[in-house]
Amino acid sequence: MESATHAGLVRHDLLIDGKRIAPSGGDYSVDLNPATEAPIALVAQGTAADVDVAVQAARAALKVWNGMRAAERGRILGRMAELLREHQDEIAALESLDAGKPIAAVMRQDVPAAIDTLAYYAGWCDKINGQVVPVRPDALTYTVREPVGVVGAIVPWNFPLMIGMWKIAPALACGCTLVVKPAEITPLSALRIGELALEAGVPPGVLNIVTGKGKVVGDALVAHPGVDKVTFTGSPSVGRGILQGAAGNFKRVTLELGGKSANVIFADANLDQAVRAAASGIFFNTGQVCSAGSRILAHRDVYDDVVERLAARAKAIRVGDPSGRDTSMGPLVSAAQMKTVLDYVAIGRDEGAALVTGGRRIGERGFYVEPTVFANVEHEMRISQEEIFGPVASVIRFEDEEDAVRIANGTLYSLAAGVWSADIGRVHRMARELRAGTVWINTYGYTDVRLPWGGSGDSGFGREHADVAIENFTEPKAVWLSLAQ
């Protein structure tokens, strides 16, 4: 909470119905820079009452947003994408500061992906068609797709801007209005996006941003009878609670949860490329990636080679100040996340895995942990089964294709997987056998708004991106018109 020592920090209020307003409880939390632990801003702690006001604003705005011509909505979203491009340096700096993400990576990935997502869905606005369906000669029967209504979007801290936009852009394109709850510790980019949306011509009340605690703002949003759909990205445990909370008025729910993705390297793979991609697959964004290739499965003939090369790459990673242009890995996002990661390092050692490199905190300020590689990891160990969400690779030995599939599919998750081999039959067999929403062959980690994204099991359900998201944010309606004389 705010104290006298935080005087002088910028206060970030809620964004509701086009206006920045103070939270009804009057409380602000202190937002920290994960790289230095220094306070960077004061952020409004929204309340259930604030959520109620935001939902009412969003309900009222539905008529306005849907009353527009579809092409006009598309033009506004296009303008919003342009504004994001014009402000990309500012937004990237904000995201890097708030989440501890290396600025170079934010400029290369997060910001372009957010702009691309907006531009892509801007193009969808006037293409959300129904169909005329032939049923009987004396009736005209057709379908239309209507917006689901008010969307509650709950966003995690690992890609606040990009994942936020994966929800905001398709919902807006479909004519929905939103109340967005950014993660408590990374709210700044969402608030700025909300302002740019207004500047682009998105009417007040269409995109509301309510910052604050998951248990307060998130719970209130999920339980609110005026919310028609919840789209959530985060942990399985919170996802389970959301599913239960949303049952009250049978909200539609999409859950993008965690992962423990396998990156499978066969002996005939190009080892140089495979290990390079495996290293970035686990160390990119300090391992705080739902699709991180946290389990590296290496065939026994190349196992030692893979471990050695991976450790060498881990040691060579430039960990440091996220604002440095040549920094490739920043800190973890919070003290809590750092503790989780260090606890898992201890668990891995206790379980008998071999710590090849890393495993320690770096320095005493900022939430930095060394890129870490565990070898001799057994499939049943906790570090092989549980999501760590940090820069910790578990390298697991396998015997043959069947063994690789058994291990790869042997967790509760099923978000993504990678396969490395020169055998064209094998990679296709693996793509078929792997239980995952995305399979990468001789590459790892790409996402694109044009392809569906999501998983099943503890990785959640439903997909984001592409035309699937259009289905997520619309309800089909069947219309019968009698032609009888």
Among 19, 63, 108, 215, the residue binding ligand NAD under the rule CB under 6 A is: 215
Residue from the set 205, 214, 371, 462 that interacts with ligand NAD by CB under 6 A: 214
Neighbours of 446 (CB within 10 A): 9
- Contacts with 188 (C-beta within 8 Å, 6 or more apart), sequence order: 12, 31, 41, 43, 94, 95, 97, 98, 160
Q: Which of 241, 324, 410, 457 binds ligand NAD (CB under 6 A)?
A: 241
Three-class secondary structure of residue 357 per DSSP? strand
Based on the shown chain and the rule CB under 6 A, indicate whether residue 449 belongs to the binding site for ligand NAD: no
C-beta of 41 vs 302, nearer to ligand NAD: 41
Q: Identify the residue among 98, 184, 401, 458 touching ligand NAD (CB under 6 A).
A: 184
Among residues 259, 281, 287, 371, which is the contact residue for ligand NAD, using CB under 6 A? Answer: 259
H or E stretch covering 245: helix 236-245
Give residue 180's region: left, alpha or beta (phi > 0; psi -120 to 50). Answer: beta
List 238, 310, 341, 408, residue binding ligand NAD (CB under 6 A): 238
Complex with ligand NAD: residue 260 or 299, whichever CB lies closer: 260
Nearer to ligand NAD, 120 or 166 (CB): 166
As a whole number of angstroms, the distance between CA 14 and CA 353 comes to 47
User: Judged by CB under 6 A, does residue 258 bind ligand NAD?
Assistant: yes
* CB-CB contact of 478 with 135 (8 Å): no
Q: Please give the backbone phi and psi of residue 415, each rounded to the nearest 5 degrees, phi first.
A: -90, -50
Smallest separation (angstroms) from ligand NAD to the CB of 386: 10
Q: How far is 435 from 425, CA to CA, in rounded Å? A: 18
Residue 61's φ and ψ, nearest 5 degrees, are: -80, -15
> With respect to ligand NAD, which residue has the nearer C-beta, 157 or 344?
157
Site string for ligand NAD, 87-106 (x = CB under 6 A): --------------------
The count of chain residues that interact with ligand NAD, using the rule CB under 6 A, is 29
- Can residue 262 be called a binding residue for ligand NAD (CB under 6 A)? no
Task: Please pick, among 184, 256, 387, 401, the residue that the annotation labels catalytic.
Answer: 256
Binding segment toward ligand NAD, per CB under 6 A, in 180-188, 189-197, 310-318, 466-474: 180-188
How far apart, in whole angstroms, are the C-alpha atoms of residue 153 and residue 320? 32
Instruction: Say how many Å lie between the first and final Cα of the chain, rounded.
Output: 71
Q: Assess 233 for contact with ligand NAD (CB under 6 A).
A: yes
Which window, 155-163, 316-324, 371-379, 476-484, contacts ligand NAD (CB under 6 A)? Answer: 155-163
Indicate the SS3 state at residue 435: coil
Question: Does residue 183 interact with ligand NAD by CB under 6 A?
Answer: yes
Minimum gap (Å) between residue 330 Cβ and ligand NAD:
16
Torsion angle (degrees, nearest 10) of CA 97, 98, 102, 104? -70
Exposure of 92 by Cβ count < 10 A (0-12 exposed, 13-18 middle, 19+ buried)? buried
From 15, 41, 154, 265, residue interacting with ligand NAD (rule: CB under 6 A): 154
Q: Which tokens hold the place of 41? A: 């801003």
What does DSSP assign to residue 368? -
Alpha carbon 316 to chain centroid, angstroms: 27
387 touches ligand NAD (CB under 6 A): yes
CA atoms within 13 A on the CB side of 317: 33
Cα–Cα distance, 394 to 295 (Å, whole number): 5
Site membership for ligand NAD, residue 457 (CB under 6 A) = no
Closer of 28 and 65 to ligand NAD (Cβ):
28
Q: Which stretch binds ligand NAD (CB under 6 A): 16-24, 27-35, 156-164, 312-320?
A: 156-164
Beta carbon nearer to ligand NAD, 157 or 368: 157
Write out the two tokens for 114: 């957010």
**339 contacts ligand NAD (rule: CB under 6 A):** no
437 binds ligand NAD (CB under 6 A): no
| 433: annotated active-site residue | no
Smallest separation, CB 312 to ligand NAD (Å) = 27
Q: How many CB atoms lie within 10 A of CB 238?
A: 20
Contact 376, 349 (CB under 8 A): no
> What residue has token string 């471990």?
307
Query: Judged by CB, which is closer to ligand NAD: 136, or 215?
Result: 215
Question: Could you list the residues that contact ligand NAD (CB under 6 A)?
Answer: 154-158, 163, 181, 183-184, 214-215, 218-219, 222, 233-235, 238, 241-242, 256-259, 290, 387, 389, 415, 459
| Active site residue ranges | 256
